[in-house]
Structure 1
Amino acid sequence: MTRLTSVTRALITAVAALLAATVSVSPAQAGPEPKAPRDFVTLRSVDPTILQEMRYFTPHNFVGERIDGYHQPVCILTRPAAEALHKAQRKLLRQGYTLKVYDCYRPQRAVDHFVRWAEDLDDQSMKGEFYPNVDKTRLFADGYIAEKSGHSRGSTLDVTLVKLPAAPTRPYRPGEPLVPCVAPRDERFPDNSVDMGTGFDCFDTLSHTLDPRVQGAQRANRLLLKDTLEGLGFVNLAEEWWHYTFKPEPHPGTYFDFPVSRKSLAGRH
């Protein structure tokens, strides 16, 4: 009887110690989300006229679901990038166009989500639209997916042009039939942007900004966007007609992970 009591007491002591340890580490694990540096702003606070269609807040992207870290459909950028984009918008409005952003600052956790998806070769649910001609095993080797993104530094954005007056874009319905992003504009998912030759986030060499197969109005549209933004300090990624980075970057070596949310700006607009 005495031996059983001792064993019982030992078990109770061990369980109590385990519970105490669990309680002591939980607050650290559930700590507050990181905040953005003071030089980050919402694009809307700098230029409310630029359209925003934040694709990674929605399931209409190459993964097929909302991406980790996108808590709100809001464009966040470093102030220098946002102010340069505002100058571009003023020039384009006079020509009958508006800018539309698909993505801006992107947290590292979102990039990690992309990597996990790319490693899951069984998940091909969005192939029909976003990478119809590319084998998923090639996404890393061909540079479509990487473990780090310039978007996480805060001065990179994905952007297009919309002819004014801007027509609405209907919502994407998960599970609807997919059309290749390289198909003619009238066949692709309806987007109110001008015809750039491919859809946004199209994993295909046809998305290369100066691909010689893209001619006529499509090439003119790409060059209008490119010339306007590069004249104000942005640099285009040659493999993606929609991808621009403002230079010099305020945070060239830092990859942030605060959520895409107004709360990340600590009370700022």
Structure 2
Amino acid sequence: MTRLSGAVRAVVAALVTLMTMSTAATTARADADPVAPADFVALRTVDPTILQEMRYFTPHNFVGERVDGYRRPICILTRPAAEALHRAQRTLLSRGYTLKVYDCYRPQRAVDHFVRWAEDLGDRTTKAEFYPNVDKTRLFADGYIAEKSGHSRGSTVDLTIVKLPAVPTRPYVPGEPLVPCYAPREERFPDNSIDMGTGFDCFDTLAHTLDPRVQGAQRANRLLLKGTLEGHGFVNLAEEWWHYTFRPEPHPDTYFDFPVSARSLARGH
């Protein structure tokens, strides 16, 4: 019994040592992560009324899995961009609408994940929804994927408008049938956004903000988003109705790589 107890104690001691080493390694990796500059903030601290549906924290995106660098489903932006969104939100609230963000600051490691996915031509899991009419070999040439993103500079945001009172959007169930992002609203994946003619991250020319084929209420909705944000200092990317950048950017030439997490904003930890 004495020998057995000694052996057990040795095993327990070894396990404790391994756990300690693992915890230390994890802590070291976390401490090694860069943190955000002082002028980056969580959007909720500036305007808690803006809805957040952070798609790259979930598997419902064109990659089909949570994207590298998204450790929490929070929107991080430079303070000037966040404050400008707050002003735009006040304009929309007065008309019975609210903003909803899909993506804000995006670390470079997430962009690198996009690039790896685009280079894997055998992975077409999400094609039926996000790029049904585009061959994956064309994603770089057609400008849908790039090695750098303005989002990594911290003042670019992907967003839409939701009519109040907001109806919750049901969660995506991995493996469920996918519907083209340009299908009629009642057929594509449900989103509580007003109808913009396509879903978010639709790799198709129909997603171009002023595509002439998009008319009626869909065009009016895009123009409502465009007019509101441009009135508060944002500039639209013509190829994506959801993509806006606040100008002037505080960091026009810097691509950051700190993770999307509360810890990244806890300076001096």
TM-score in terms of structure 2 length? 0.88
Task: Determine the structure 2 residue equivalent to 1:4.
Answer: none
Q: Deviations over 1:78-108 (max 9, x none)?
A: 0000000000000000101000000000000
The DSSP-based 3-state class of the residue aligned with 1:256 is coil
The DSSP-based 3-state class of the residue aligned with 1:206 is helix
User: Is the contact between residue 36 and residue 267 of structure 2 (CA under 8 Å) also seen in structure 1?
Assistant: no
Give, in angstroms, the shift of residue 159 of structure 1: 0.4
Amino acid at match of 1:170: R
Output the CA distance in 1 between the equivalents of 2:60 and 2:157.
18
Q: Deviations over 1:81-136 (max 9, x none)?
A: 00000000000001010000000000000000000000000000000000000000
Output the CA distance in 1 between the equivalents of 2:267 and 2:198.
38
Output the CA distance in 1 between the equivalents of 2:159 and 2:142.
22
Amino acid at match of 2:164: L
User: Is the contact between residue 67 and residue 110 of structure 2 (CA under 8 Å) also seen in structure 1?
Assistant: yes
User: Is the contact between residue 64 and residue 125 of structure 2 (CA under 8 Å) also seen in structure 1?
Assistant: yes
Output the CA distance in 2 between the equivalents of 1:187 and 1:265.
39
Task: Determine the structure 1 residue equivalent to 2:162.
Answer: 162
Task: Determine the structure 2 residue equivalent to 1:147.
Answer: 147
Task: List, as ranges, runs of 4+ consecutive aligned residues in structure 1 with deviation greater than 2 Å.
Answer: 27-31
Task: Determine the structure 2 residue equivalent to 1:19.
Answer: none
Give, in angstroms, the shift of residue 31 of structure 1: 5.5
Give, in angstroms, the shift of residue 251 of structure 1: 0.2
Give, in angstroms, the shift of residue 267 of structure 1: 5.3
Structure 2, unaligned stretches of length 5 or more?
1-26
The DSSP-based 3-state class of the residue aligned with 1:152 is helix
Amino acid at match of 1:254: T
How many correspondences in the alignment? 243
Give, in angstroms, the shift of residue 28 of structure 1: 8.6
Output the CA distance in 1 between the equivalents of 2:267 and 2:197.
40
Q: Deviations over 1:178-199 (max 9, x none)?
A: 0000100000000000000000
Output the CA distance in 1 between the equivalents of 2:72 and 2:30.
20
Structure 1, unaligned stretches of length 5 or more?
1-26
Give, in angstroms, the shift of residue 29 of structure 1: 7.4
User: Is the contact between residue 35 and residue 267 of structure 2 (CA under 8 Å) also seen in structure 1?
Assistant: no
Task: Determine the structure 2 residue equivalent to 1:121.
Answer: 121
Output the CA distance in 2 between the equivalents of 1:100 and 1:29.
32
The DSSP-based 3-state class of the residue aligned with 1:178 is coil
Output the CA distance in 2 between the equivalents of 1:91 and 1:29.
43
Output the CA distance in 1 between the equivalents of 2:51 and 2:182.
24
Task: Determine the structure 2 residue equivalent to 1:264.
Answer: 264
TM-score in terms of structure 1 length? 0.88
Q: Deviations over 1:218-265 (max 9, x none)?
A: 000000000000011000000000000000000000000000001000
Task: Determine the structure 2 residue equivalent to 1:97.
Answer: 97
RMSD: 1.5
Task: Determine the structure 1 residue equivalent to 2:209.
Answer: 209
Task: Determine the structure 2 residue equivalent to 1:43.
Answer: 43
Output the CA distance in 2 between the equivalents of 1:197 and 1:225.
13
Give, in angstroms, the shift of residue 266 of structure 1: 1.5
The DSSP-based 3-state class of the residue aligned with 2:32 is coil
Amino acid at match of 1:85: L
Give, in angstroms, the shift of residue 30 of structure 1: 7.6
Label 1:62 to 1:228 Cα distance change in 2 as closer, same or farther (>3 A): same
1:77 lines up with 2:97 in the alignment = no
The DSSP-based 3-state class of the residue aligned with 1:87 is helix
Label 1:43 to 1:30 Cα distance change in 2 as closer, same or farther (>3 A): closer
Give, in angstroms, the shift of residue 32 of structure 1: 1.5
Output the CA distance in 1 between the equivalents of 2:29 and 2:206.
45
Quote the sequence identity (%). 84
1:172-251 aligned within 5 A: 172-251=172-251
The DSSP-based 3-state class of the residue aligned with 2:162 is strand
Label 1:28 to 1:41 Cα distance change in 2 as closer, same or farther (>3 A): closer
